[in-house]
Every structure is written in structure tokens, then in C-alpha cells.
Amino acid sequence: MNLKRILKDQFGYKKFRDNQEDIIKAVLDGRDVFAAMPTGGGKSICYQLPSIVFDGLSIVVSPLVALMKDQVDEAVENGLNAAFINSSLSPAEAQAVYSDLFKGRIKLLYLSPERLSLDGYYEKLRDLPVKFFAVDEAHCLSEWGHDFRPDYLNLSRIKKYFPDVPVAAFTATATIQVQNDIINLLKLVDPYTVRASFNRPELFYRVEQKNGALDQITAFIRDHGGQAGIVYRTSRKDVEKTADYLVSKGIKARAYHAGLPQKDRQKCQDAFNRDKIDVICATIAFGMGINKMNVRFVVHGDLPRSMEGYYQETGRAGRDGAEAHCLLLYSGGDMMKIQYHINNMHDGIEKKKAEANLRRMSSFASVNVCRRKQLLEYFDEPADEHCGFCDICTDKIEKINASVDAQKVMSAVVRTGERFGIVHVIDVVCGADTEKIRKFGHEKLKTYGAGSDKPKSWWRSIVDDLIRQDAVYQDAESYNAVKLNPKGREILYGREPFYILKKEVVTVKTASKSLAGLGAANYDEALYAILREYRNSLAADKNIPSYIIFSDRSLKDMCIIKPVDNSSFLRVHGVGEKKLSEYGPLFIPKIREYLGY
């Protein structure tokens, strides 16, 4: 069996990516598999290709009900006999799929975990020649994962009903603890285990102090004019506010969150997948496993709750291997909001886990250590001290001793009895004339006006840094009053210095290392514009996302190779026999016409 020939003929790829071939061979040998592979690592090939080889049915369990149609459409475009069954189908449509299944016309079936939870469903599947189960987004099984889903626990029954059928679990994000949970819960037997590198070298990571988030987000998006991107906000209110603001600035954006009707959410996601809008503003309810290949940026307008969530969300950018940028805006206020929710948790174990996640996420955003190194070490992967492709490694950073200013702030905190919030403390330091200051007589304090030579924004940044460095904290039980931690007292009394970092941003315009050989440069841009518009019109006629016909990378490859016959068209990335047969007669004449043949 020539797996590379199948890879080229069906999917149009000349070679396997790291780990793909070994995983496929293990599955075809009947072994269970656990594979942690980063987003864009080619997981789908690992279960789609075996479905071609197996003489029977392969089942993919996926929580991505909103994307199943697109996943199946993409598989069908590559010549696979694929279908899905979920709640979006009418009874007649579902019955037609079941009829095809029992007639042996379908080799690859996508199901939701909720479907498998129905009484008697496993028994029904036993009447079919099931040869293989693939569990996608397997981190949903583990309560230690960032997206636990109770319905996934029902998948532990697969081995009960299909003891001799190989089961492969795939995830883009899993610590060792989550990995062990998945293996145990699915009852995988001596699984072939892959932990691919979690490094996404095409992603540039940047963290900035939040100071007018809407304007910062807008400026960032304008720097990526016309490109597709996702903006994550914590609350539904901020999602809608951000989307409205971007639209008012002429940016094609739309809001997405769980509070919207299902039909509106689906329309929003379809518009984004089909390049009708450039930016989705969303809560984390959006995007898990999104198939869109050409997302060029991800912005977090608020601090994420965990490193796993952050990694998963930023991973939705750059799935085509081309450079993409990830911006995180961070302030002490974010910490306060998350801590408030943590304080209201009743489950002690969950509370401890949330606090540990918050500390790790805060450290990622605040310490002067390579962002990529911190991410990789979270997933137990060693990393170099400098990646050369994040803000810490590229910006010019100056370490400034700000002990005196920190002492002024904390002196105001102590002299006001550690009873007041950030705004009032800063007003005292700046010497503001407010009713609240006069009411409490704080204009008489020695610290009053000690920082009047600097703007309030400077003092706010000092307070945020003090919070980040665990020198002070906001006490949620005392109306967010600022209070000193032991470290703060050491700084206040001159026993420990306090440093802040001043960064001079260096704009990264050079392509990342991962772009070598991807055809990301030196392509004919005029031809690309013609082919892209043509591809989009074909996709609109078929009512499928554009990337299902050809990815941007494939189009750029066409604009380098400029194929004028079948043999040269087959050299294009992503073109196999099926795509040659269907799209060669459409795209080759366009290219020949452009070249004047």
C-alpha cells in the first residue's frame, strides 16, 4: 500500500507532515493512538486517509456541530465518501444518510458526542462495519482541560461496544495530566503516543499594556488591513461594543457570542468562513476547531483565564503555515475581574485550579521572559531562551528602577488606611481636588500631591505593575481596596528594589522561519487577485467556504508555478487527482489567458 500515493492523489500533498505517516500506520495496524498535535499540524489527514484504506466505516467524533458540514464538504471535495449526522439535519435528511450507511456508500461519518449519548445508539452502530473511531478535540474529556464537556465522558463506552476497533484521540492542546486523563477515560490499550512540538513558529506573540482597548484593537487591525482575524473579549457586552466600534471605523466586523440565537451565530460564522467579513469579535464560545486557514491575527482584548485557552485561541491563526500575529492586551483590572469570579467559586478544587491558571497567565503577560519559551514550558516542552519572534525577543527593552514612584503610591495606600481603590489612591498622589479627598481630609497627608509632576496614566501603570509583581492587590471583599502584600512592604521600606520595563516596539516585517519554501513570497500578485476572485465566486455558487476549493497557499503556489497543463497543475500544493479533474479545466484556462496563450 503506497500511502504517499494516496496522500498526493486524494489530498494533493507531496509529503506527510511530521508524525502523520507514523500515526496512520499505527491506526492501520489496529493500534489505539493518542496524538497531541498543534493546530495546523494536519490532524484531519490522520483519520481521513485511513478511512480510504479501511474496508468499512470510519467514525469521527467531533463537538464542532456548526462546522461539520464544512468538514464534510472539504472531504467530499477531496474525493472521500463522507457524511455527517447531527441536529442540523431534518429527519428526512438524516434518514437518507442512514440509508447510505447501511448500503455501504459512506466510508467516513462525522458524529457529535451528544448523538452517541442517545439510548441505543452504540447498539445501532454495531450493525455497521465500523473499523475505526477518531475522537477529535479530545481534551474535552478531561476536567483538567480548558474546555471540558460532560457528553464526552460517554465516549468511554466505545471500547465496551467495539473492543477490537482502534480508537485514536486527537487534541491540539494537552498537558501530561490531560493526556493521561484522556488515555484512561477512553480506555486506550497500549496507545501509540505522539506529543508533537507545541511550537507554532509562524505565530508572533505580543503583549501590551491595555490603555484604551478599543483604539488599540482598531489600530492593530488597520495594520492588518483587509486580513481575516479574531478579537476575543471576555464579556458579551464588550464583544458587541467592540464590534460596533470597529464597524463605525469602517472595518467589516461582526459580534459572536452564546447569547445570540443559533441561527445568527451560524450566519456570522458562515460569513467569516466565506470571507464576507474580515473580523469576528467573540467570546471563547467561538472558534474551537475552526477550519478557516487564512486567519492572519488573533487579538485578546482581555486576559485569558488559562494558558491552555490562550494557546488554543491564538492557534486559530496561521493554520496555513504563513505568518500571523497574536496581540494580548493586559491590565491589572483584568486580574481583579477574574479574581472576583474565582472568589465566588464554591468548589475548593476548582478554585485552586483557577487560581493557579490565573497566576500562570499573569506571569506570561508580565515577566520579561520569551513568550514562546513560557508557552512551551507550560506544555512540558523545553525551549530556547530567545525565539526571535515575539515582542520580548524583538523589542528594545530597558529596565528602569521605579522604586521611588512605587513608594509614593504605596505610601498613599498605607496613609489612607488601605481602604480605598486605585482611582482614589492615584488622585491622592496626583494632588487632585475631589470631594472624596476633602471628605476624608486626605489633602493633609504627606503623600498628597507627591506625584503631581506626572500624568495619571503614569501612576496607573505603576499600580498595574505593582499588582502584576504581587506587591499590592485589590481586595474584592473590601470593595477592591488596594492593600499591600509582604513584597510591597519590602519595597516601601527600601529593602527591595522595584523595576519596570520600558519597551520600544520594533515592527516585525520579515517573514517567519516557517515560511521558507511555502511560496509566501515572489508570487504574481495580479494573477493571485484574479484567481482569488474566481475561487470565491465558485465557492459562493457551491455555498461552501472558499478554502475548501483551494487555500490561499494553493492559489499563491499557482501564481508561482503558473501551470498551463494538467501535469504542471498537479505540482500545485493541495492539488490531487480529484481537484485536477474538477478544477483543472476551470483554473488552467484562466492562467493561460492571463499569460496571453
Report yes or no: 224 and 296 within 8 Å, Cβ to Cβ. Answer: yes
Alpha-helical runs (H) found in 186-280:
213-222, 236-248, 262-273
Number of CB atoms found within 10 A of residue 291's CB: 17
Confidence grade of residue 510 (pLDDT, cut at 50, 70, 90)? very low
Top mean pLDDT of 118-127, 264-273, 499-508 is at 118-127
- Which DSSP symbol is given to 390? B
Q: What is residue 296's predicted lDDT score, i.e. its pLDDT? A: 93
CA of residue 441 relative to chain centroid, distance: 50
Q: Give me the CATH topology for the region 519-595.
A: DNA polymerase; domain 1 (1.10.150)
Q: What is the three-class DSSP state of 572? A: coil
- Per the listing, cell 505568518 goes with 323
Tell me if the domain spanning 400-502 has CATH number 3.30.230.10.
Answer: no
Question: In angstroms, rounded to a whole number, what is the distance separating the alpha carbons of residues 383 and 376?
Answer: 6
Whether residue 355 is predicted with pLDDT greater than 80 in this model: the reply is yes
Q: What is residue 285's predicted lDDT score, i.e. its pLDDT? A: 65
pTM of the model: 0.75
Confidence grade of residue 334 (pLDDT, cut at 50, 70, 90)? confident
Element containing residue 26 per DSSP (H, E): helix 20-28
Summarize the chain as % helix, strand, coil (round to 5): 50, 15, 40
Q: What is residue 516's predicted lDDT score, i.e. its pLDDT? A: 36
Number of CB atoms found within 10 A of residue 576's CB: 19
Q: What is residue 504's predicted lDDT score, i.e. its pLDDT? A: 64
- Which DSSP symbol is given to 538? H
Report yes or no: 367 and 200 within 8 Å, Cβ to Cβ. Answer: no
**For helices 307-314 and 348-366, angle between their N-to-C axes, nearest 10 degrees:** 60
Tell me if the domain spanning 3-195 has CATH number 3.40.50.300.
Answer: yes
Question: In angstroms, rounded to a whole number, what is the distance separating the alpha carbons of residues 308 and 298?
Answer: 15
Confidence grade of residue 513 (pLDDT, cut at 50, 70, 90)? very low
Q: Residue 399 half-sphere exposure, CB side, CA atoms within 13 Å? A: 7
Q: What is residue 396's predicted lDDT score, i.e. its pLDDT? A: 72
How confident is the model over 173-190, as a mean pLDDT?
91
Q: What is the three-class DSSP state of 553? A: helix
Number of CB atoms found within 10 A of residue 104's CB: 13
Query: What does the pLDDT look like over 255-295, one tens digit per residue?
Result: 999 888 888 888 888 888 888 899 999 987 665 546 788 89
Least confident of 42-46, 75-79, 258-262, 277-281: 258-262
Q: What is residue 512's predicted lDDT score, i.e. its pLDDT? A: 39
Confidence grade of residue 514 (pLDDT, cut at 50, 70, 90)? very low
Alpha-helical runs (H) found in 469-576:
486-492, 525-542, 546-549, 552-561, 566-569
Selected residue with higher pLDDT from 71 and 426: 426
Q: What is residue 280's predicted lDDT score, i.e. its pLDDT? A: 95
Residues 6+ apart with CB under 8 A from 418: 481, 482, 483, 484
Residues in the chain: 597
Q: Which residues pair with 111 in a beta bridge?
A: 61, 85
Report yes or no: 8 and 576 within 8 Å, Cβ to Cβ. Answer: yes
Q: Percent of the chain scored above 90 by pLDDT?
A: 59
Top mean pLDDT of 272-276, 296-300, 329-333, 476-480 is at 296-300
Question: Following DSSP, what letter does each residue of 295-364 receive, concatenated?
Answer: EEEEEESS--S-HHHHHHHHTTS-TTSS-EEEEEEE-HHHHHHHHHHHHT---HHHHHHHHHHHHHHHHH
Q: What is residue 521's predicted lDDT score, i.e. its pLDDT? A: 57
- Per the listing, cell 507531496 goes with 14
Q: What is residue 146's predicted lDDT score, i.e. its pLDDT? A: 63
3-195 and 203-397: same fold? yes
Query: The C-alpha cell of 95 is what?
Result: 434518514
Query: What does the pLDDT look like over 232-242, one tens digit per residue?
Result: 999 999 999 99
Confidence grade of residue 88 (pLDDT, cut at 50, 70, 90)? confident
Report yes or no: 486 and 480 within 8 Å, Cβ to Cβ. Answer: no
What does the domain layout of the chain look like in residue ranges? 3-195, 203-397, 400-502, 519-595
Measured CA to CA in angstroms, residue 236 lies from 218, 244, 255 at distances of 18, 12, 9
Q: Percent of the chain scored above 70 by pLDDT?
A: 95
Whether residue 519 is predicted with pLDDT greater than 80 in this model: the reply is no
The CATH homologous superfamily for domain 203-397 is P-loop containing nucleotide triphosphate hydrolases (3.40.50.300)
Q: What is residue 65's predicted lDDT score, i.e. its pLDDT? A: 75
